[in-house]
Amino acid sequence: MRCAQLQVLSRLGSAHYNFSSFSSNIAVIAMRTLIPRILATIAMSLACFSLHAAESPDPAQRLITELEIRESKQASRDMPGWRKPEKIVVLLPDNRIPKRADYLAWLQSAAGDAEIITINTEHELELDKEDTDVYLGFCHHVTPDMERLTWVQNYFVGVDRCVDNEKLLNDQVLLTNTSAIPGPGMAEHTIALMLMLTKKLYVFHQQQQDRVWKRLPAPEKQVMEVNGKTMLVVGLGGIGRQIARRAHAMGMRVTAIRNSSRSGPDYVDYVGLPDELPELSKQADVVVNITPLTKSTTGLYDRAFFRNMKPTAYFINMGRGKSVITDDLIAALENQEIAGAGVDVTDPEPLPSDHPLWDAPNIIITPHNSAPSDQMLERFWILVRENLRRYVAGEPMLNVVDLKRGY
């Protein structure tokens, strides 16, 4: 008997109970029939509950599925340099401590017999460098004298500070990152910037500060509905897919650029390669940059790029500030070559108080703060612990980084 049949049994039980009100004799018969059915229903409910619990994915598997986190094709035990770790150093700065009292036991349960050492700062790593097998922290902390090191779990998504690290490049040290983990929050931030720009909410916010009640003149020329419009997502990685998913849900046509292939999820209408950026950006109403910083993406968005965009289109930078030539963005805004911009990252960063970008028209600036949220830290530690468990067990890893490609 299937779990779906429980509803049928419940209805039958109710029918017997209602029918019993017509006659006491029939009621006796009904009760004799009803009680076994009730007991059977309860038993089946418990069985179905147990089956459902057994089939429900654990938090790590659910996270992998929901965020489409990539898994390495090769098991870690088959990767060069792998060995079962004996000593694991975990960086736990104040803003990274898991939100659970038993977090040390929770991490230890994934580490097997390996010793876990926790530190609060990079300087404390000096005491344990020589015999550290695994480091959970930041990849730019790695130094050549960490001779036993075999794997680094980078807490950041970006690895641009580590691409020239000789230890990571030459000594067969596995590197993983937290790609996709800040995706939901950053995607919501992207959509928020888009709506603030397209609905001119920043204008009304300033009017509120000035205590001015004033409607937009000719709103049909200034306010854009995003339904039916095209968003181009440049960088279809873990975060880019979350942005694309939300834009698609709002009725937008989504195109994307990715470096590796033309394959993409169902909610992306077209995936192009990097050489198609000029043509796809010309068609887009909103261009979102979410690429890692590499040699090919440094200075990618220049005056020629902005002039190629529609004058009614918006540019949003969620990737790295150095991907944009800031003076060219300012010029594009001042000359109305694009309708507006939203940036969570800048070059330089932090942005000095006297920088001309602050005074550019139709721009919203947030201080590289799109990733943190009330749920991000939980996702972060679920991923880190799962990768720890996988590495110790020699299983395929999540979010393996190719430093030579820069992501």
Q: Is 67 helix (H, G, I), strand (E, B) or coil?
A: helix
Residue of 86, 225, 334, 349 marked active site: 349
State residue 39's pLDDT score.
52
Q: Are residues 37 and 152 in the same domain?
A: no
State residue 44's pLDDT score.
52
CA–CA gap between residue 86 and residue 72 (Å, rounded): 23
Q: State pLDDT tens for residues 131-164.
A: 999 999 999 999 999 999 999 999 999 999 999 9
State residue 94's pLDDT score.
86
Residue of 16, 246, 320, 385 marked active site: 320
Question: Does residue 319 register a pLDDT over 50?
Answer: yes
371 occurs within a structural domain: no
**Main-chain phi, psi angles of 87, to 5 degrees:** -135, 125
**Which two tokens mark 234?**
């440049």
Residue range 303-308: average pLDDT?
Answer: 98
Q: State pLDDT tens for residues 224-241.
A: 999 999 999 999 999 999
- Report CA-CA distances (Å) from 224 to 94, 221, 232: 42, 8, 16
Q: Are residues 100 and 210 in the same domain?
A: no
CATH number at residue 337: 3.40.50.720
Residue range(s) defining the domain that contains residue 25: 3-55
Q: State pLDDT tens for residues 374-402.
A: 999 999 999 999 999 999 999 999 999 99
Q: Are the C-beta atoms of 328 and 352 separated by less than 8 Å?
A: no
Q: State pLDDT tens for residues 99-116.
A: 888 999 999 999 999 999
Rounded (5°) CA angle 133-136-141: 85
CA–CA gap between residue 8 and residue 11 (Å, rounded): 5
State residue 171's pLDDT score.
78
124 occurs within a structural domain: yes
Buried b (16+ CB within 10 A) or exposed e, 223-258: ebebeebbbbbbbbbbbbbbbbbbbbebebbbbbbb
Residue 11 is among the residues annotated as catalytic for this protein: no
Q: Are the C-beta atoms of 142 and 165 separated by less than 8 Å?
A: yes
351 occurs within a structural domain: yes
Residue range 354-365: average pLDDT?
Answer: 98
Q: State pLDDT tens for residues 329-339.
A: 999 999 999 99
State residue 5's pLDDT score.
43
Residue with tokens 């429980």: 6
306 occurs within a structural domain: yes
Local confidence band at 8 (pLDDT 50, 70, 90 cut-offs) = very low
Task: Please state which of the ranges 298-302, 334-338, 349-353, 403-407 shows the lowest mean pLDDT.
Answer: 403-407
State residue 35's pLDDT score.
55
The total number of structural domains in the chain stands at 3
State residue 21's pLDDT score.
43
Local confidence band at 32 (pLDDT 50, 70, 90 cut-offs) = low
Alpha helices per DSSP H over 215-272 = 219-222, 238-249
Residue 320 is among the residues annotated as catalytic for this protein: yes
Q: Are β-strands 134-137 and 115-119 bridged in parallel, bridged antiparallel, or unpaired?
A: unpaired
Q: Are residues 206 and 354 in the same domain?
A: yes
Residue 123 is among the residues annotated as catalytic for this protein: no
Q: Are residues 146 and 286 in the same domain?
A: no
Q: Are residues 312 and 329 in the same domain?
A: yes
Task: Tell me if the bond preceding 292 is cis, omega within 30° of 0.
Answer: no
Residue range 266-295: average pLDDT?
Answer: 97
66 occurs within a structural domain: yes
Residue 83 exposure: Cα atoms within 13 Å on the Cβ side:
10
Q: Is 366 helix (H, G, I), strand (E, B) or coil?
A: coil
Residue range 205-227: average pLDDT?
Answer: 93
Q: How high does pLDDT run on average in the chain?
A: 89
* Helix, strand, coil % in the chain, rounded to nearest 5: 45, 15, 40
State residue 23's pLDDT score.
44
State residue 40's pLDDT score.
54
Residue of 368, 378, 389, 395 marked active site: 368
CA–CA gap between residue 107 and residue 29 (Å, rounded): 59
340 occurs within a structural domain: yes
Higher pLDDT, 101 or 76: 76
Residue range 89-108: average pLDDT?
Answer: 90
What is the total residue count of the chain?
A: 407
Q: Are residues 176 and 217 in the same domain?
A: no
Q: Are residues 277 and 221 in the same domain?
A: yes
State residue 127's pLDDT score.
83
**Cα 33 to chain centroid, rounded:** 54
Q: What is the DSSP letter of 400?
A: B
- Contacts (Cβ under 8 Å, ≥6 apart) of 221: none
Residue range 116-130: average pLDDT?
Answer: 91
Single out the residue of 170, 213, 178, 219 nearest to residue 198, CA to CA.
219
Task: Please state which of the ranges 52-66, 83-97, 351-365 shows the lowest mean pLDDT.
Answer: 52-66
Local confidence band at 26 (pLDDT 50, 70, 90 cut-offs) = very low
Q: State pLDDT tens for residues 165-177.
A: 999 988 789 999 9
- Report CA-CA distances (Å) from 51 to 3, 37, 39, 43, 46: 9, 20, 18, 12, 9
Task: Please state which of the ranges 24-28, 221-225, 361-365 shows the lowest mean pLDDT.
Answer: 24-28
